[in-house]
Amino acid sequence: MANSAQSKNLFEYTEDSIKSLDWKEHIRLRPGMYIGKLGDGSSPDDGIYVLVKEVVDNCIDEYTMGYGKTVEITIEGKTVTVRDYGRGIPLGKVVDVVSKINTGAKYDSKAFQKSVGLNGVGTKAVNALSSYFVVTAVREGKQKKAEFKRGELTQEHKESKTAEANGTEVSFIPDETIFRNYKYIPEYLENQIWNYCFLNAGLKIQFNGKSFQSKNGLLDLLERKSNADEIRYPIIHLKGEDIEVALTHNNDYGEDIYSFVNGQHTTQGGTHQQAFREAFVKTIRDFYKKDYDASDIRTGIVAAISVRVVEPVFESQTKTKLGSLNVDVEGPTMRQFVGDFLSKELDNYLHKNPTVADALKKRIEQSERERKELAGIKKLANERAKKANLHNRKLRDCRFHLNEEPPSRGKEEYLSKQQETTIFITEGDSASGSITKARNVETQAVFSLRGKPLNCFGLTKKVVYENEEFNLLQHALNIEEGLEGLRFNNVVIATDADVDGMHIRLLLMTFFLQFFPDLVKHEKVYVLETPLFRVRNKQETIYCYSESEKLGAMKKLGGKPEVTRFKGLGEISPDEFAQFIGSDMRKQLMRLEHGDHIQHLLEYYMGKNTPERQEFIISNLRIELDAVESE
């Protein structure tokens, strides 16, 4: 009875249960609500990049309003410095703007029209999540500086005279107690910077001495994202008031659409992206006077759409998805706005460019033929998938998907968890068993392959439905109709660190590049890094991911430490495995470099050019051996 009473007291709901947190405590306790996932910098949507974005967004808003044509970004080690040449924060409000929630100029739409940051949280979140944060504002020959630590004001400097140009400078160091073992990867930042430039033609951004600038906006973006050898017709570029569109088609499967609102990359789409998809289909049907299937019209499309609206409504603080809204307070809905623009401008373009119109029609008719050829196989494959899902254990799903709809309350936390959803694709019972026991069941799922998948290079999409493993995998991911239904934000290939494991990894990469390239282009696919060695003595255990790390660990521990070589994932105990797939997970993003041609890549690595690959392997093996010997 005593134990029962004690247990009851533990769960009592009284006045003492109610806690009030100040702004910085809440941000530090629930950082995911403000910046998405934390991460270590290995993924482009990790929190440390969101911190940079939040500061740069303010600079972009200044440029949009007509102030300051240059932004300077410097990253030295872990210190980030961002300087703009806009109007500068009013000196009397420097402290308030970066440390008081719901304080800022963007509530005044006259001062900041069509800006991306409207809720006064951005720089406050950066401040609260930084171990060092300094803001300096310059206006008309005077400057004001304030220093903070984890959101607490440590020193407020008096106003002083300066010869510096007007503008604002922010320096910060992300707090290592929140962002563990992180590092900035320049390529991710450069990609982010290019997006700013494409969306703000004429803006000049300098990053660590390199200059970035775009003259042609979304046309430049699509040229960078596409390959001239792959596109079926020259990029169509359309501009109007508060809207810009660029589009073309290639021979890939699926849709590849980049959408932006007020300069913000909405990676999860939203009303503007859906409006574009619908309006594009309607315009094409009207132009050709034929009721083409929507999927035939959009298959192979590569497009970008950017809109500017007053007071955008995003579904979370990370601003990755646009909610429902009118274009302006009393104006048309987003669907009407985008629909009217495309029905006029795209229709005019196609009438004036019959060669492009003919090439577009041929691409649509090609998709139509392929879809009809697949129809019967597809129906049988979908029936098999439904039946298999009832009886097999190939997919160990996560609890997050038990409730597919966002709750009416706690939506920010729901969206934060959505960002964390991960599926591990692995092979064999022992490996899938270890991951299944070690995973976070709330957000992590496991898909178990049976043996090596087929090398699908050069095959048509017919094989995705005929091959049971591929068919079940596409259903587990829910990508049959494109990225819109993707169930997991992170798709992680988890194979053994041996020859067979590497081969399976390549075969899965080939599958995604061949049939679902937009999954790779939108940076959703990763390769899990697990340790090759465990080096330990009685006092310490070190996990090593390379031969050189192993030698360093042996030297550090001295004596004769015990060295274990992990040949497979199944050899790592679930308790140990939990460390490698948790918050400190090491994974490599599967990325396409600028100018990469997918079919050329696949032909080189998975085709019949064995002598070339052999030479490539031998050359790189020599480099690796030289690196190990130099240690």
pTM above 0.85, yes or no: no
User: Among 48-57, 292-301, 376-385, 506-515, whose mean pLDDT is lowest?
Assistant: 376-385
Measured CA distances, 537 to 2, 76, 403, 533, 540 (Å): 45, 36, 46, 13, 6
pLDDT value, residue 175: 92
pLDDT value, residue 104: 45
248-252, 256-260, 353-357, 476-480 — most confident range: 353-357
Mean pLDDT of the chain: 83
Cβ distance 473 to 467 under 8 Å? no
pLDDT value, residue 595: 57
pLDDT value, residue 115: 47
Domain boundaries, the chain: 25-213, 218-369, 392-530+567-596, 533-565
DSSP line for 518-577: HHHHTT-EEEE---SEEEE-SS-EEEESSHHHHHHHHHHH-S--EEEE--SGGGS-HHHH
7-16, 251-260, 288-297, 595-604 — most confident range: 288-297
Mean pLDDT of 351-358: 97
Q: How far apart are CA 299 and CA 284, in angstroms?
A: 13
- In this predicted structure, the answer to whether residue 613 has a pLDDT above a threshold of 80 is no
Q: How far apart are CA 146 and CA 501, in angstroms?
A: 53
- In this predicted structure, the answer to whether residue 466 has a pLDDT above a threshold of 50 is yes
Mean pLDDT of 581-591: 82
pLDDT digits (tens, 9 = 90+) for 202-220: 999 999 989 999 999 999 9
Higher model confidence: residue 273 or residue 387?
A: 273
User: Among 271-280, 290-299, 493-502, whose mean pLDDT is lowest?
Assistant: 493-502
- In this predicted structure, the answer to whether residue 4 has a pLDDT above a threshold of 70 is no
Burial label for 179, CB within 10 Å (0-12, 13-18, 19+), is buried
Q: HEC profile for 505-526?
A: HHHHHHHHHHHCHHHHHCCCEE
CATH code for the domain defined by 218-369: 3.30.230.10
pLDDT value, residue 366: 94
pLDDT digits (tens, 9 = 90+) for 443-465: 999 999 888 899 888 888 888 88
CATH class label, 392-530+567-596: alpha beta
The pLDDT confidence band at residue 158, using thresholds 50, 70 and 90, is very high
The pLDDT confidence band at residue 117, using thresholds 50, 70 and 90, is very low
Mean pLDDT of 100-119: 46
Measured CA distances, 588 to 39, 41, 317 (Å): 12, 10, 26
User: Among 6-10, 48-52, 221-225, whose mean pLDDT is lowest?
Assistant: 6-10
Higher model confidence: residue 406 or residue 297?
A: 297
pLDDT value, residue 363: 96
The pLDDT confidence band at residue 264, using thresholds 50, 70 and 90, is confident
Mean pLDDT of 410-435: 81
The pLDDT confidence band at residue 14, using thresholds 50, 70 and 90, is low
Q: How far apart are CA 155 and CA 176, in angstroms?
A: 22
- In this predicted structure, the answer to whether residue 468 has a pLDDT above a threshold of 80 is yes
Nearest to 284 by CA among 349, 370, 374, 372: 349
Mean pLDDT of 289-307: 93
74-83, 222-231, 394-403, 587-596 — most confident range: 74-83
pLDDT value, residue 574: 85
Mean pLDDT of 487-492: 92
- In this predicted structure, the answer to whether residue 588 has a pLDDT above a threshold of 70 is yes
The pLDDT confidence band at residue 160, using thresholds 50, 70 and 90, is very high
Q: How far apart are CA 134 and CA 431, in angstroms?
A: 47
Report the number of secondary-structure helices (H) and strands (E) in the chain.
22, 23
Q: How far apart are CA 51 and CA 175, in angstroms?
A: 11
167-176, 451-460, 536-545 — most confident range: 167-176
- In this predicted structure, the answer to whether residue 319 has a pLDDT above a threshold of 50 is no
Higher model confidence: residue 299 or residue 22?
A: 299
The pLDDT confidence band at residue 411, using thresholds 50, 70 and 90, is low
pLDDT value, residue 88: 92
pLDDT value, residue 591: 81
Q: What is the CA radius of gyration of the chain?
A: 26
The pLDDT confidence band at residue 628, using thresholds 50, 70 and 90, is very low
The pLDDT confidence band at residue 401, using thresholds 50, 70 and 90, is confident
Percent of the chain with pLDDT over 70: 83
Q: Which CATH superfamily is domain 25-213 in?
A: Histidine kinase-like ATPase, C-terminal domain (3.30.565.10)
- In this predicted structure, the answer to whether residue 109 has a pLDDT above a threshold of 50 is no
pLDDT digits (tens, 9 = 90+) for 383-400: 777 776 644 568 888 888
Q: How far apart are CA 450 and CA 456, in angstroms?
A: 16
DSSP line for 419-476: HH-EEEEEESHHHHHHHHHHS-TTTEEEEEE-SPPP--TT--THHHHHSHHHHHHHHH
Helix (H) or strand (E) holding 71: strand 70-76
Burial label for 349, CB within 10 Å (0-12, 13-18, 19+), is middle
- In this predicted structure, the answer to whether residue 43 has a pLDDT above a threshold of 60 is yes
pLDDT value, residue 12: 58
User: Among 184-188, 472-476, 572-576, 594-598, whose mean pLDDT is lowest?
Assistant: 594-598
Location of structure tokens 């192993």: 550
pLDDT value, residue 118: 40
Same fold, 218-369 and 392-530+567-596: no
